[in-house]
């Protein structure tokens, strides 16, 4: 479980970065949303996402504006820098997070990308469409075996449906988001 700190009283770490993960001139901050972030990460892990990337991603969803450095993520999650390094690499490959640098700061910061799930869904739509074509070919080749044909035909139809509806859902989401 992630460690929480409360440095609102201007404790030892504000002047020289004495708290791990805090740069000189940067105030230590209380980590908020730790419990719901851990619960969300556990759900994502149960759904098939690797545990450490799920924890890092949810920590970044709950991160203050400007995100976290790798050291801050390590401190928040109570894990090694190597674990954070592997997780951020994984999440960057999926385009869920981005690495940003600040002028005059040697440490990169990581932030959760806005609209990332909608973009991920839309970018995978051609995969569903092409997959439905392959599975439809299976159905055609299984005309004589009704069970195999029907399974393949139903899956192909579902993937075509998914491809169309997911694009509509992403468009509807953006329209709703932009209207508020």
pLDDT in tens, 136-177: 999 999 999 999 999 999 999 999 999 999 999 999 999 999
Angle between helix axes 51-61 and 70-77 (nearest 10 degrees) is 110
Tokens found for residue 137 = 């070919």
Mean pLDDT of 74-92: 96
End-to-end CA distance of the chain: 35
Q: What is the pLDDT of residue 15?
A: 30
Q: Residue 72: how many CB atoms within 10 A of its CB?
A: 26
CA-based R_g, the chain, Å: 22
pLDDT range class, residue 114, cuts 50, 70, 90: confident
**pTM (2 d.p.):** 0.71
Tens of pLDDT along 9-66? 333 333 333 334 444 334 345 788 999 999 999 999 999 999 999 999 999 999 999 9
105, 100, 74: which is closest to 87 by C-alpha?
74
What does the alpha-carbon distance between residue 37 and residue 77 come to, in Å, rounded to a whole number?
A: 10
Mean pLDDT of 84-92: 97
Sign of CA dihedral 32, 94, 47, 121: positive
Q: What is the pLDDT of residue 23?
A: 43
Q: What is the pLDDT of residue 103?
A: 82
Over 90: is that where the pLDDT of 1 sits? no
Q: What is the pLDDT of residue 116?
A: 86
- What CA–CA distances, in Å, run from 158 to 29, 129, 153, 163? 47, 10, 9, 9
- 58, exposed or middle or buried, with CB in 10 Å at 0-12, 13-18, 19+? buried
Over 60: is that where the pLDDT of 3 sits? no
Determine which helix (DSSP H) or strand (DSSP E) holds 97, and give its type and residue range: strand 97-100
139, 60, 72: which is closest to 107 by C-alpha?
72
Q: What is the pLDDT of residue 31?
A: 80
Q: What is the pLDDT of residue 6?
A: 36
CB-CB contact of 96 with 50 (8 Å): no
């Amino acid at each position: 479980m992630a460690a929480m700190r409360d440095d609102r009283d201007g404790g030892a770490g504000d002047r020289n970065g004495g708290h791990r993960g805090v740069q000189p001139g940067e105030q230590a901050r209380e980590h908020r949303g730790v419990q719901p972030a851990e619960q969300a990460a556990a759900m994502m892990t149960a759904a098939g996402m690797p545990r450490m990337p799920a924890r890092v991603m949810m920590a970044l969803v709950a991160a203050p504006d400007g995100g976290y450095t790798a050291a801050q993520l390590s401190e928040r999650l109570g894990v090694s820098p190597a674990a954070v390094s592997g997780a951020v690499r994984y999440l960057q490959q999926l385009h869920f997070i981005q690495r940003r640098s600040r002028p005059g700061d040697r440490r990169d910061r990581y932030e959760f990308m806005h609209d990332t799930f909608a973009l991920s869904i839309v970018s995978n739509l051609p995969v569903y469409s092409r997959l439905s074509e392959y599975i439809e070919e299976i159905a055609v080749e299984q005309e004589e075996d009704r069970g195999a044909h029907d399974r393949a035909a139903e899956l192909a139809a579902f993937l075509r449906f998914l491809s169309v509806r997911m694009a509509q859902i992403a468009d509807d989401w953006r329209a709703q988001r932009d209207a508020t």
